[in-house]
Amino acid sequence: MPKIRNKFVCQNCGYVSYKWIGKCPDCGKWNSFNEEVVEDVKKDKKYNYDTAPLKLKEVQGLETARTYTGIGELDQVLGGGIVKGSVVLIGGEPGIGKSTIMLQIASILEGKNKKVLYVSGEESAYQIKLRADRLELKSLDLTILTTNVLEASLNFIDKESFEYLIIDSIQTVYSDNLNAPSGTVSQVKHITYKLVELAKLTGITVFIAGQVTKEGTIAGPKVMEHLVDTVLYFEGDYNKGFRILRSVKNRFGPTNEVGIFEMGEKGLTGISERRLYSGNNNSPGRVLTTVMEGSRIFIVEIQSLVCNTYFNFPRRNPTGFDLNRLHMLIAILEKKGGLAISSSDVYLNVAGGLKINETAADLAVLAAMISSFKEVIIPEECIFIGEISLSGQVSNVSNIESRLHEAARFGIKRVFYSGSEPDFKNLKFDKIENISDLISAI
């Protein structure tokens, strides 16, 4: 890839400067510099590949070339395993477990006689070995390369026949073909292009760890996410050890799929239990609901605290829930329900670190606020499912039977929702059609 840089040429005497200056130091003339772009061409390694077109029926699918990691939650998020020749980007906050799960994946693949190259630009080989000993990994035949130069990794891959490449992390790697420091937009974009090209032309599967910004998105240009095949985000509650791996893009499987992990002394382990709450519901403001993530349903706890404010403007502080939707639900509760909570501080939390993006939790959020405001304890065997309209009416939600099956599996006995009563022997149903019915029921 050509090296692009700017130069400034004096139109009077031809003096060249690589930064703009007002007065020419050679001829002394002011404002005589014009900017020019110079490309310093440096030849990259070219791969041999056939560009001949194919009939669609002649193309063989990649679904048969999946490798199972043995980590059920990870395979679920990936759509059934790792696809050969794919590029997977994993992002998350510092310390959430990106390097840990990368090392676990590498060890599992090495145990299956797969050749893996682990390129670390952040940690030394000694630090990686310490983590491997702490995690008690079974396979230690993993090849580790500690370098920040992309070309060094590519040259090593040319010498050895690797099947998997792990980059940790892309913001610490730079290319000699660009005159820019690592982590810049140009470097991240160029390296991503090269890794995608490597994967598609050689069949190597590439895992990339990416740092995130304070807004929670992958640091670097958005084109980086467009180039890769799969984008996974780590979310979690550091205090409880929960980690949620969410798929936001997957060319080989469903999107919005999630996997639940728990961080322990031996790394990340999958949690098949789909209940993200403590189970000790003995205080007001705690309500259970169902949340659908991809093809999976979780029982989660909504926690609310409504109290008198000591500020000129009441605070609205949600964690794991959309702030604008919380404002809307508070307005509906005051307008249609007659509860004067506009002068109160409202704190809302989704237990387990999960972020709720669907409207099926509206009824539970309202119930939690009413419970806290009225100081009424809602029993743990109750669950609230429903969407709230601006008129204060409760609407049905999708996949209600699957939600009820999951609720019954975890011992729920009473369901508050707006639909007709289905045939569930162990569940009692309370029909909630509007805000008034909800307040009366609580």
Residue 125 lies in a domain: yes
pLDDT in tens, 338-379: 888 888 999 999 987 778 888 999 999 999 999 999 999 998
pLDDT above 80 for 1? no
Whether residues 265 and 301 share a domain: the answer is: no
Residue 230 lies in a domain: yes
Q: Write the secondary structure of 144-179 as one string of H (helix), E (strand) and C (coil).
A: EEECCEHHHHHHHHHHCCCCEEEEECHHHCECCCCC
Whether residues 97 and 233 share a domain: the answer is: yes
Whether the CA torsion 205, 201, 187, 147 is positive or negative: it is positive
Whether residues 80 and 145 share a domain: the answer is: yes
Task: Decide: helix, strand or coil at residue 299.
Answer: strand
Helix segments in 249-393, DSSP class H: 323-337, 362-374
d(CA 265, CA 288): 30
The confidence band for 323, taking pLDDT boundaries of 50, 70 and 90, is very high
Whether the CA torsion 49, 54, 56, 57 is positive or negative: it is negative
Residue 122 identity: E
Q: What is the mean pLDDT of residues 411-433?
A: 85
Whether residues 307 and 266 share a domain: the answer is: no
Task: Name the least confident of 64-78, 325-339, 404-418.
Answer: 64-78
Whether residues 28 and 108 share a domain: the answer is: no
Q: Is 156 exposed, middle or buried (0-12, 13-18, 19+ CB in 10 A)?
A: middle
Percent of the chain with pLDDT over 70: 88
What's the pLDDT at 2?
Answer: 45
Whether the CA torsion 390, 320, 371, 440 is positive or negative: it is positive
d(CA 158, CA 53): 27
d(CA 44, CA 198): 13
Residue 57 lies in a domain: no
CATH number, domain of 368, equals 3.30.230.10
Whether residues 307 and 387 share a domain: the answer is: yes
Residue 142 lies in a domain: yes
Whether residues 110 and 14 share a domain: the answer is: no
Residue 430 identity: D
Whether residues 145 and 78 share a domain: the answer is: yes
Residue 143 lies in a domain: yes
Helices and strands in the chain: count of H runs, count of E runs = 10, 24
Whether residues 119 and 213 share a domain: the answer is: yes
By residue range, what is the domain housing residue 162?
65-270
What's the pLDDT at 63?
Answer: 54
Mean pLDDT value across the chain: 84
Phi, psi of 96 (to 5 degrees): -85, -15
d(CA 242, CA 276): 9
Whether residues 245 and 183 share a domain: the answer is: yes
Q: Which DSSP letter does residue 43 get?
A: P
Whether residues 170 and 303 share a domain: the answer is: no
Q: Which DSSP letter does residue 367 get?
A: H
Residue 58 lies in a domain: no
Residue 51 lies in a domain: no
- Give the CB-side neighbour count of residue 260, counting CA atoms within 13 A: 19
Number of compact structural domains in the chain = 3
Last residue in a domain, options 270, 304, 327: 270
Task: Decide: helix, strand or coil at residue 407.
Answer: helix
Identify the CA nearest to 111 among candidates 103, 123, 121.
103
d(CA 27, CA 131): 62
CATH number, domain of 103, equals 3.40.50.300
pLDDT in tens, 5-24: 567 777 766 788 877 788 88
Last residue in a domain, options 241, 270, 299: 270
pLDDT above 50 for 426? yes
Q: What is the mean pLDDT of residues 31-41?
A: 64
Whether residues 344 and 208 share a domain: the answer is: no
Last residue in a domain, options 253, 270, 287: 270
